[in-house]
Amino acid sequence: MKTHATFYHAGCHVCIAAEQSLAQALDPSRFEVRIIHLGQTPSELAGAERAGVQSVPALVLNGQVFHINFGAALSALK
């Protein structure tokens, strides 16, 4: 069974770079990557917060949050 990996972003330049390189670099045989644009789907903000996301871009993998560089604070997206 594949592990879900969730990549949160907000369409910013830093986010896009991380998505195209890092999120796409994950092993597709082990991970099913969901890409969530928080600017376009603000209904996902609460879930991102619960997962511990503080800024985007961020990758949630195995319950751990990895904040990658810094594009925008989550609070700026509300």
> Under the rule (CB under 8 A), what is the footprint of its own copies?
5, 17-18, 21-22, 25-31, 59, 61-62, 64-69
CB of 60 to its own copies, least distance (A): 10
> Which residue, 17 or 74, is less far from its own copies as judged by CB?
17
Nearest 5°: CA angle at 21, between 64 and 10?
A: 65
CB of 23 to its own copies, least distance (A): 10
Cis peptide preceding 28, ω within 30 of 0: no
CB of 12 to its own copies, least distance (A): 14
> Which residue, 43 or 63, is less far from its own copies as judged by CB?
63
Structure-token pair, residue 76: 């700026």
Neighbour count for residue 42 (Cβ, 10 Å): 12
